[in-house]
Structure 1
Amino acid sequence: MVKAQLGAVIQPLFVLLWASAFIAGIIGVGAAPSLMVLFARFGFASIGLVLYARLVRATWPTRAELPHVIVAGLLMQIVQFGGFYTAMGQHVPGAVVALVQGLSPVLIALFAGFLGETVTARQWFGFVIGGVGVALAVADQTSLSLTGLALCGVGLLGLSLGTVYQKRFVPTVDSRAATAVHMMASAPVAGLLAWATGQLHIWDGGRFAASLVWMVLINSMVGFLMFNWMLRRWDATKVSRLLFATPAATAILAWLAVGQPLRPLTIAGLAVGLIGMVFASRKATKPAPVPSPEPVAVR
């Protein structure tokens, strides 16, 4: 009973915390350039995650695994968040970014054969519906630029390719240590890119510090711990379905926290996108095997 009650609290709390990352990102890129935000986030998060990995005695990648973990980390951190944060800096609504991020299974499905997986007709239908949802969500965003939408595509590509790469080359690596390596590898790259593009400055120190504390402690640490807590107790499908509620939660939080408007087409797009994601997550169920009759003992 206690576990069930704890699960009932953990699930909606996790959705809110996951969605809040987009709000913190919106506030952060309003206080400093996107690469400066990423440099600070990755730097401080790497310290916290390394300490956590050592505390729980996580298994670190081997010398052969380490290069693959780094490549996956750069794709999932630098490319994904570099694209998404820069898009938010160009006034792409956080809910739209969350919806685009949620469509990563579409690209991952394109590499299904490479991963030895199959995609059902029902899932492809969900991918198409999800794409329609994105189109509706951005249809009435008159301030959106093609550059902002292209940056969302870059972020989606980074997340999808990074996921495929890690599944293909290091599928059994300890996620706790791997995430720490992702952050350690991404921090200096973000710093170099920020320096090369002249983005090592801050416009609003107070807002920058507040968003950074939230992103590091709440999103990178608490959210990560909650995610792993759920994965240890429930199957991955049940946990991943919680992410379907992220775009809607992000839209509501963005409306409450930073005043981003909730337009009718945006709401319709989020609803359609949610339906598409649910379809995309459902795999065809295999019929239960019929048990063979036990042999009769001969006496």
Structure 2
Amino acid sequence: MGHLHKRWVQAVPFLFVVLWSTGFIGAKYASPYIEPFHVLLIRMLMTLVAFGALALILKAKWPSPVQAMHQMVTGFLVHAVYLGGVFAAIEWGLPAGVTAIIMGLQPLLTALMSWQLMGDSLRPVQWLGLLIGFVGVALVLLSGEGGGQFTIDTASMIAAVAALVAISVGTLYQKRFGSGTDLFTGSFYQYLMTAIAMAVVAFTFETGEINWQPELIGALLWMVFGLSVSAILLLMLMIREGEAAKVASYFYLVPPLTAIEAWLLFDEQLNLMGIGAIALTVLGIYLVLRRH
């Protein structure tokens, strides 16, 4: 039984990466039928119902008011500002690939902040692994950009950087203040805060027009149960059990896996440069995670 438990714990990061990397699929299927912040609002409301039901069925322990506030801060940073920032940056003209490269700085920023603020230390070879991983991610994304020209808008860059800082700070905040909270009820409060934030943004800046089609419904169901429930539970488990910098390093695997999925599902190009960049990214992760 102990052996099975150990194998399950080892598999958690890779299950998380696989689930998290599919986020673009849901967004791609949903985007023709609904505005971005309304899809996030509906996703958060559905997720709230799911976590509320799970907490009741499993008789999960509800947090104290102080713990609940900490979870709402985590939710605001990791979900509301991060997702809202990414969606806003793309909506305001920053190419998705460039946005993803900026988000690719997260493991480096999280490791640096963890080292400065929480006393976590990385060996030189692990810092090298983080740098190699980032170069690999950048090359994966640049290999699919096709050299297109674009104009960097100040507002879109601010949104992207805000998203980057928010998920890095949120990861450390959850590690520092959220470790004693039940995963299910803690996540409920995270999504409650996110739903409130998304409602304010959606009703302030969007028209609310929705074209209910099977593709939209399917995308919403996947984003709720595949991402907001399953992937986030795995992420919170990883944050609770592991070092923040190591947990963040797994995010490097998301763009390469996304590139492979786009090639398989949407026939998007995956050239020799992209394949080499994926190998480089995997090498970087190996250097961060290896024991000696």
- Same fold per superposition (TM over 0.5): yes
Counterpart of 1:118 (choices 111, 114, 121) is: 121
Give the aligned residue type for 2:36.
S
Give the Cα separation in 2 of the matches to 1:217 and 1:107.
29
Give the Cα separation in 1 of the matches to 2:192 and 2:230.
18
Residues 73-84 of structure 1: pairs in structure 2 closer than 5 A: 73-84=75-86
* Corresponding residue SS for 2:66: coil
* Corresponding residue SS for 1:260: coil
Give the aligned residue type for 1:120.
R
Over 3 Å counting, the alpha-carbon distance change for 1:87 and 1:255 in structure 2 is: farther
1:36, 1:190 within 8 Å by CA — same for their partners in 2? yes
1:61, 1:173 within 8 Å by CA — same for their partners in 2? yes
Over 3 Å counting, the alpha-carbon distance change for 1:221 and 1:23 in structure 2 is: same
Counterpart of 1:196 (choices 197, 200, 204) is: 204
Using the TM superposition, give the Cα deviation of residue 277 of structure 1 relative to its aligned residue in structure 2, in angstroms: 2.6
- Normalised to the residue count of structure 2, the TM-score between the two structures is 0.78
Over 3 Å counting, the alpha-carbon distance change for 1:268 and 1:195 in structure 2 is: farther
Residues 143-154 of structure 1: pairs in structure 2 closer than 5 A: 143=148, 146=152, 151-154=159-162
Give the aligned residue type for 1:134.
V
Gaps of 5+ in 1: 286-299
Over 3 Å counting, the alpha-carbon distance change for 1:146 and 1:123 in structure 2 is: farther
Alpha-carbon deviations, 1:68-117, whole Å to 9, x = none? 211111100011112334456558457983x7656532111222231121
Over 3 Å counting, the alpha-carbon distance change for 1:73 and 1:34 in structure 2 is: same
Over 3 Å counting, the alpha-carbon distance change for 1:92 and 1:195 in structure 2 is: same
Asked if residue 276 in structure 1 is aligned to residue 284 in structure 2, the reply is yes
Q: Which residue of 1 aligns with 2:61?
A: 59
* Corresponding residue SS for 1:219: helix
Give the aligned residue type for 1:71.
V
Give the Cα separation in 1 of the matches to 2:176 and 2:22.
30
Give the aligned residue type for 1:28.
A
Over 3 Å counting, the alpha-carbon distance change for 1:236 and 1:157 in structure 2 is: same
- Normalised to the residue count of structure 1, the TM-score between the two structures is 0.76
Asked if residue 178 in structure 1 is aligned to residue 180 in structure 2, the reply is no
Residues 1-299 of structure 1: pairs in structure 2 closer than 5 A: 3=4, 15-87=17-89, 92=95, 97=100, 101=103, 103-111=105-113, 112-140=115-143, 141=145, 142-143=147-148, 146=152, 151-202=159-210, 205-224=213-232, 227=234, 236=242, 245-282=253-290, 285=292
Aligned residues: 280
Gaps of 5+ in 2: none
1:96, 1:138 within 8 Å by CA — same for their partners in 2? no
Give the aligned residue type for 1:42.
M
Over 3 Å counting, the alpha-carbon distance change for 1:115 and 1:35 in structure 2 is: same
Using the TM superposition, give the Cα deviation of residue 271 of structure 1 relative to its aligned residue in structure 2, in angstroms: 2.8
**For the aligned residues, what is the CA RMSD?**
3.7
How many percent of aligned residue pairs carry the same amino acid? 27
Give the aligned residue type for 2:118.
L
